Each structure stands twice: as structure tokens, then as C-alpha cells.
Amino acid sequence: MTYPLLVTIVYWALIASPSTFETRYWAWSNISKHALNSVFALFEIFFTNVEPIPWLDLAPCLVMLGCYLGLAYITYATQGFYTYAFLNPETQGNALAGYIIGIAVAECIIFAIVKGLMILRSRFVRKRAYRETSLHHETESVRSNERLA
């Protein structure tokens, strides 16, 4: 649930360029791949009954980011190009370490925010359900008393 948000942020902050919207096809392609995924993730966070993500899930998320980073360098070694220009150590120099660490830190922050939002949503729904259930029982009790009288 956190990757779509991270992908959206990284794409629009580091990768998108004026050619992103060069044609209608490229505009739709980039919006559907790098923006709509966050819309769907936010829908799942706010409007479903998915339990809040456990803290233990953060470690596999970071491992997967590391694997994805490794795959980018395997692609360079086998195909001769970087999948993302910001991963090129020749052009980025020391900034490359900042990008890698920054993306990992961003994943941790996004994870914590998503977890917090899901906890708030669960509490809100639980309180609302309790109020509606209490009101329903109260109404039923009044109706029962009216029938007896």
C-alpha cells in the first residue's frame, strides 16, 4: 500500500520531464502508471476495511526497494543503460547516495503515515459503528416498552 505513493512521489519529483506530456498517449500512460496508482491506494486506505499494516511489514518493503535498486544495476550491467538516469553514479556522483537513502527514508515516512491513517480510519469506523449499534438497541428498547404499555 505504500509503494504506489512512493512511486508517484519519485516519478514526479525525479523522473518526469517536459516530454512526460508530449503526446496524449504519453500523458495518459504516465498519469495511469504514476498517478492513478496512488488514487487506488488512497481509496484502499480510506474506504476499505483492510487492517492497519503491521510494523513488521516495513522490513520487507525496504528489502524489496533494495532488490529493485539491485535490478536497476543488473540492467545496466547486462543491457548497458540505467533504467533511471538518477541512478547513474557517473552523472550523479555523491548525490546518488542521497537519492538512495532519501527514497528509503521516504518509504519509512510514507509507511508510518499510511499506518497512522489506517488506524484513524479504523477508530472512526469503530466509534461510528458503536454509536449506530447503541442507537439501534436504544430504539428497539423504546419500541419494546411501547408495546408492553
Q: Is 142 a residue whose pLDDT tops 60?
A: no
pLDDT digits (tens, 9 = 90+) for 62-95: 999 999 999 999 999 999 999 888 999 999 999 9
User: What residue spans define the domains of the chain?
Assistant: 3-148
Q: Answer for the pair 106, 62: CB distance below 8 angstroms, yes or no.
A: no
**pLDDT on residue 128:** 78
Per-residue pLDDT band at 131 (split at 50, 70, 90): confident
Mean pLDDT over 24-43 rounds to 93
| Helix, strand, coil share (%) of the chain residues, nearest 5 | 85, 0, 15
pTM: 0.82
Q: Answer for the pair 118, 50: CB distance below 8 angstroms, yes or no.
A: yes
